[in-house]
Amino acid sequence: MSELSRLRWLCRRGMKELDVVMSRYLEHHYESASMADQDKFKVLLDMPDPDLYDLLLGRSEAKDPELRQFIGRLRNM
């Protein structure tokens, strides 16, 4: 399985809203993103749905400032 195929599979979440956000980033921005942003995206994909949902809605904040900035950009895409 290729890396993109694996990531596509991981973008399939239990919440449709997360599917849309994560899949849209993967399809439109991932390949042209920096390695650091690709790594941050993978960190988010490893999170449980409720935690990821709270981060994307701004109900909670990531401790890592760089991850917080990435989440902010992800929200605005």
| Residue 31, CA distances (Å) to 2, 50, 55, 66, 70 in order | 13, 26, 23, 19, 15
Could you report the per-residue pLDDT of 7-54, keeping only the tens digit for each?
Answer: 999 999 989 999 999 999 999 999 999 999 999 999 999 999 999 999
Measured CA distances, 58 to 21, 36, 48, 62 (Å):
14, 22, 16, 10
pLDDT at 64: 96
pTM of the entire structure?
Answer: 0.92
* Residue 39 pLDDT: 97
Q: List, in order of start, the domains of the chain with CATH numbers.
A: 3-75 (1.10.150.250)
